[in-house]
Amino acid sequence: MINKWINYVSMVLLVAFGLIFYHHYALMIMFVFMLIAPAVSYVVTRRNIDKFSIKVDAKKSSVGKKIPVDICFHVKNQSLIPLEGVKVQMSLCNCFYENDEEYELIIPAIPKKTRIATISVNGIYCGRMIAKIEKVTIYDIFGLFQFKKEVNSAAEIYIMPSKSSKFENVQLSVLGVTDDEELQMKKGDDVSQISEIRNYIPGDKLQNIHWKLSAKNDELQVKEFSLPYSEEVIVLVELYVDKENPFIFDKLLENLYAFSRDLLEQGRKFNLVWKDNDYELKTVEVYNDDNLNTGIREIYFANVQKMNGTTYHLYTSINPEMKGTVLYMSDRNVDIKGGTKLDIGDEGVMMTCLN
């Protein structure tokens, strides 16, 4: 803006010198116009600030890591006055981490129209990414004056774990249920238990296909479901982020998602549990992909813990006599008393069977 004023003053002085030496009528009109125009522009722009609005949204609400997503800025000018430029300052952050990024755009505002400007961003870690308009500065048509505009607008994007990640290190037998116990006699519709595996019949649901056995036998195999398992499976998650090594927590979320999908593929229902408040545990029952995605998104809204292991200590204090199978997922810095550590093939993340 300083350059604009320098140019303006230089033009006024140039016209003034020309008027002194040439006394031309046209130079007089130009000189008067150059003196009055900025004042008129200031008054008109200031009075039309309320007719200007801006909001931000995202073209997709959920994407995978490192996949570009478009952030759109809708600049609406309901006045008859064009604006030289609207400077928008936006912050982009993942709620789990202290990794704010700043973006700045200059967007012209066309009279009586809405202009859409787009930038492409991507998230490198799983979590809830927020694109928020922090500051809006409006310039008059000559770019000599600036006005602040209060705007409260933000867009949320869920950065989801990869669906391609596989988790085959922990089998049902490790969870306290043997392969023989998995085959029950009574058939039903409960996806938490398999009663029989049979050949595929046209009309069977695709989600009931046992893909591993099908690949092994070169023929589609379908799972028949029955009554729920008597043994409850709880997946306890420690929501602690090491600020110096944020990728470890990201790996934890990836492993959690992959392990949860593996349980669902095995026909198991389970409970996702994490510490929500100081003395409260949040539980989400998971028995299909929709429940799992809901649970992951609710975790994205949870507050990360200030100290590592607080979820473990709270759960064991509330449930001294654990029922079912409790699987605790954390980084490798938590001091756990007892339990059986399970090899999940990750150096930074561990899973422990607490009972």
> Is 97:250 a contact under the CB 8 Å cutoff?
no
Residue 49 lies in a domain: no
Q: Which residues pair with 115 in a beta bridge?
A: 75
Distance (Å, rounded) from C-alpha 85 to C-alpha 246?
38
Say if residues 66 and 124 touch (Cβ distance below 8 Å): yes
Domain end residue (candidates: 209, 226, 243):
226
Structure tokens at 81: 């006055």
- Residue 293 resides in a domain: yes
Number of Cα atoms under 13 Å in the Cβ half of residue 47: 8
Residues 63 and 14 both lie in one domain: no
Query: What amino acid is encoded at 53 in this protein?
Result: S
| Residues 288 and 196 reside in one and the same domain | no
- For residue 297, the model assigns a pLDDT of 94
CA distance 351 to 70: 36
239 shares a domain with 307: yes
Regarding whether 341 and 305 lie in a shared domain, the answer is: yes
Number of domains in the chain: 4
Contact yes or no for 311/238 (Cβ under 8 A) = yes
Residue 9: which domain range?
A: 2-36
**Residue-by-residue pLDDT tens, the chain, 355 positions:** 788 888 888 988 888 888 888 878 888 898 899 899 999 989 998 888 889 999 999 999 999 999 999 999 999 999 988 887 899 999 999 999 877 899 999 998 889 999 999 999 999 999 999 999 999 999 888 888 889 999 999 999 999 998 776 665 555 444 444 444 433 333 444 444 555 688 888 877 777 788 888 888 888 888 765 434 446 889 999 999 988 888 999 999 999 999 999 888 877 889 999 998 777 899 999 999 999 999 999 999 998 998 999 999 999 998 888 778 899 999 988 888 888 888 787 888 999 988 7
Query: What pLDDT does residue 136 have?
Result: 94
Same structural domain, 187 and 253: no
What per-residue confidence (pLDDT) applies to 225? 55
Q: How far apart are CA 234 and CA 167, in angstroms?
A: 17
Specify whether 239 is located in the same domain as 342. Answer: yes
Same domain, 337 and 245: yes
Residue 242 and residue 313 in one domain:
yes
Any domain includes 167: no
Does 275 share its domain with 322? yes
Q: Are 69 and 137 members of one domain?
A: yes
**Domain end among 160, 187, 210:** 160
What CATH number is associated with residue 64? 2.60.40.10
| Position 139 in a domain | yes
pLDDT value at residue 319: 85
Q: Do the domain assignments include residue 46?
A: no
What pLDDT is recorded for position 211? 83
Task: Catalogue the E-assigned strands of 60-214.
Answer: 62-64, 69-77, 83-94, 101-109, 113-121, 127-139, 146-149, 154-160, 187-188, 194-199
Judge if 250 and 344 occupy the same domain: yes
Residues 335 and 239 in one domain: yes
pLDDT at 176: 44
Residue-level pLDDT at 195: 54
The two tokens of residue 236 are: 């306890």
**Quick check: is 170 in a domain?**
no
Asked, for residue 286, whether it belongs to a domain, the answer is yes
The pLDDT of residue 343 is 76
In a domain, 45, yes or no: no
Long-range CB pairs of 312-320 (<8 Å, 24+ gap) are: 312/236, 312/238, 312/336, 314/275, 314/279, 314/281, 315/236, 315/273, 315/275, 315/281, 316/354, 318/281
Half-sphere exposure of 202 (CA within 13 A, CB side): 0
CA angle 251, 252, 253 (to 5 degrees): 90
